[in-house]
Chains A and B, each alone.
Chain A
Amino acid sequence: MAPQTLTRPEQEQSVERKIQPDYLDIIDSAWDGGIRSPGAKDYLVKHQITAEGWYVAYPDLTVAEIKRLQRVGKAVDELLDKIGG
């Protein structure tokens, strides 16, 4: 549920910080008090079920790191193209 904003441009981050609370309330408007309520976390915990089993193919990479790696990969490809071209 926590927004992933670590490597996004500042402008996008600021928009997301502004819209995220309302956005979550729109999607989950059945809950009492909303995302800003002090009871929001307890509400979520009450309805959350911990998985008995959980597998991730690349557990050591965050979303932000994968996006960074995508940029690194693109830069390497461009460099190799220039060297080879």
Chain B
Amino acid sequence: MATQTATADRPKQGLAVEQKIQKLQELYADAPELGRVALENGLSAFKQELGRAATGQESAGRIGARQGRVSELTGIFPFGKGGAKRLRGLLQLLEGKFQGADAVGTVHDMRFVFLDNDTKLLFATAYDGEWDAYIDDFATKIPDAMDVLFCNAAGWPGIRSPKVKDWIIEHQISAEAWYVANDLTVAETRRLKRIGKAVDEFLDKVSS
């Protein structure tokens, strides 16, 4: 499932803004009229956007994209027999509580979406740091939770298996584009939340 990025078509880094605009107009020459009109209308804003310094999207390691310190993992996994029914039941019983993910400490978010009449699972997550370390974290911190969730995918080798990383890569697809609003790790965000609370309490005490 992992796809190679069409690097041959990727614009070279460091093109001048005018060159990028020209490339964009070429790309949109055969777009629906709506898109072509929108491009013309938004040209000045696009010039500003394209003129900004690159934000530094790079690889998260073996696969996936990273923006600053936050990476993405997107995969489409075929369900095994009865897998969709079991996973749906499990997720409903969990009611959105994922204490395991809290324990890992590097997971920003996760989503489980069922595709094509419950034959495939789209799993997408944002996490801190490198791909290898992320998978290792799950394997060491919550191995049983991982196997309970992912045994529902056909061919899941088990999180403790030496083959698990290759299996994930087979089903993972690198995002073509990846945007992150805040380049903060989960730990930093939680720390800031505590600081914010302490500052609010301090100001309350000072003003009362």
Within 8 A of B (CB), among A17-33: 18-19, 21-26, 29-33
- Shortest Cβ distance from residue A52 to the other chain B in the assembled complex, whole angstroms: 5
On whether the beta carbons of A53 and B96 are closer than 8 Å, the reply is yes
Mask: chain B, 75-112; 1 = CB below 8 Å from A; 0 = not: 00000000000011001101010100110000111111
On whether the beta carbons of A51 and B186 are closer than 8 Å, the reply is no
CB of B155 closer than 8 Å to a CB of A: no
Q: What is the CA–CA distance of A42 and B62 in the complex, to the nearest angstrom?
A: 38
On whether the beta carbons of B192 and A66 are closer than 8 Å, the reply is yes
**What chain B residues lie within 8 Å of A26 (beta carbons)?**
28, 35, 38-39, 42, 46
On whether the beta carbons of B38 and A55 are closer than 8 Å, the reply is no
* Main DSSP-derived SS at the B contact region: helix
Mask: chain B, 30-46; 1 = CB below 8 Å from A; 0 = not: 01101111110110011
On whether the beta carbons of A56 and B184 are closer than 8 Å, the reply is no
CB of B193 closer than 8 Å to a CB of A: yes
Q: How many of B's residues come within 8 Å of A, CB to CB?
A: 44
Given A29-B35, A70-B184; A58-B189 close (CB under 8 Å): yes
User: Closest chain B residue to A16 by CB distance?
Assistant: B45
On whether the beta carbons of B45 and A18 are closer than 8 Å, the reply is yes
CB of B55 closer than 8 Å to a CB of A: no
On whether the beta carbons of A53 and B112 are closer than 8 Å, the reply is yes
Q: How large is the interface on A (under 10, 10 to 19, 20 to 34, 35 or more residues)?
A: 35 or more
On whether the beta carbons of A25 and B34 are closer than 8 Å, the reply is yes
Contacts from B to A (Cβ < 8 Å): 28, 31-32, 34-39, 41-42, 45-46, 48, 87-88, 91-92, 94, 96, 98, 101-102, 107-115, 181-182, 184, 186, 189-193, 195-196, 199
